[in-house]
């Protein structure tokens, strides 16, 4: 699928993986709406290629408002990329007692329910567009994590929510096939994002050393390039792609 004269919605678009994806999609010719929490987009100016919108992916009205920025005309919505997420760390049992149920619920709400909310509303908008080659109308790319497969100690909520995102890929692809919409998932390993930087350089160095090759953190722009490859590869559908340098996470 060609990106010129198309529109895209990217959640978590103000930082990290989302920001890199917004930049690359815009540079590739798409009009991009970057949806993120209001404090994250405050003060951001719109350009001809990127429009920042404040909102919560778990709120249907907020997602609908972001989609309404595009309208129903040209360019049509062809790409949705779900990057918004949170990564709480808590053991099921610790000195603080049992894992807080509200924290677990919030991780699932943002990472899984939020992803599904954007997917369903984005698909509805995509389905209105005129089909292109092979009847294709668009592609949705969700973000999981290697934690979906090898969740570490303290990652019960995060790993469970991301495993749900992995499990969503195939049935969503099958559901949306009659509408000409593809669905794929990327499962990144350890990426050099602001969230990781907040843990300090020693933690980042230790994590880098655990990656077989290349022995470094992934870069957000590498995630963005993989998104672009998925968008442009019309036969890739219902898949989850690991981007992790052959990393397999240990228990801790």
For 139, which DSSP code?
Answer: E
Q: What was the pLDDT predicted at 224?
A: 98
Strands 97-98 and 93-94: antiparallel
pTM attached to this predicted model: 0.95
4-42 pLDDT per residue, tens: 899 999 999 999 999 999 999 999 999 999 999 999 999
Number of Cβ within a 10 Å radius of residue 233:
14
pLDDT in tens, 87-143: 999 999 999 999 999 999 999 999 999 999 999 999 999 999 999 989 999 999 999
Kindly list the catalytic residues: 158
CA angle 238, 225, 21 (to 5 degrees): 90
51 and 14 in contact (C-beta within 8 Å)?
Answer: no
Residue with tokens 């995509």: 126
Angle at 242 between CA 241 and CA 243, to 5 degrees: 115
pLDDT band (50, 70, 90) for residue 228 = very high
Tokens matching residue 20: 């890199």
Q: Is pLDDT above 80 for 200?
A: no
pLDDT digits (tens, 9 = 90+) for 53-78: 999 999 999 999 999 999 877 799 99
Residue closest to 129 by CA, chosen among 199, 65, 69, 78: 78
pLDDT at residue number 164: 98
Superfamily the domain 6-191+219-242 falls into: NAD(P)-binding Rossmann-like Domain (3.40.50.720)
Question: How much of the chain exceeds pLDDT 90, in percent?
Answer: 87
The continuous run of DSSP H or E covering 233 comes out as none
């Amino acid at each position: 699928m060609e990106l010129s004269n198309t529109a895209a919605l990217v959640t978590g678009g103000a930082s990290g993986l989302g920001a890199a994806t917004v930049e690359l999609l815009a540079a590739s010719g798409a009009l991009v709406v970057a949806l993120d929490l209001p404090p994250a987009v405050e003060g951001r100016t719109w350009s001809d290629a990127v429009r920042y919108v404040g909102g919560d992916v778990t709120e249907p009205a907020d997602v609908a408002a972001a989609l309404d920025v595009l309208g129903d005309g040209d360019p049509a919505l062809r790409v949705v990329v779900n990057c918004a997420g949170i990564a709480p760390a808590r053991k099921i049992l610790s000195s603080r007692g049992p894992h807080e149920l509200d924290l677990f619920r919030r991780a699932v709400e943002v990472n899984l329910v939020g992803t599904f909310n954007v997917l369903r509303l984005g698909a509805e908008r995509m389905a209105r567009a005129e089909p292109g080659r092979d009847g294709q109308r668009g592609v949705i790319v969700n973000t999981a994590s290697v934690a979906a497969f090898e969740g570490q100690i303290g990652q019960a909520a995060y790993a469970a929510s991301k495993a749900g995102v992995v499990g969503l890929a195939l049935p969503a692809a099958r559901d949306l096939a009659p509408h000409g919409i593809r669905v794929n998932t990327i499962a990144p390993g350890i990426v050099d994002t602001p969230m990781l930087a907040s843990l300090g350089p020693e933690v980042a160095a230790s994590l880098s050393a655990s990656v077989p090759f290349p022995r470094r953190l992934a870069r957000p722009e590498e995630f963005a390039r993989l998104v672009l490859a998925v968008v442009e590869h019309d036969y890739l559908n219902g898949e989850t792609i690991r981007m992790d340098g052959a990393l397999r996470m240990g228990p801790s």
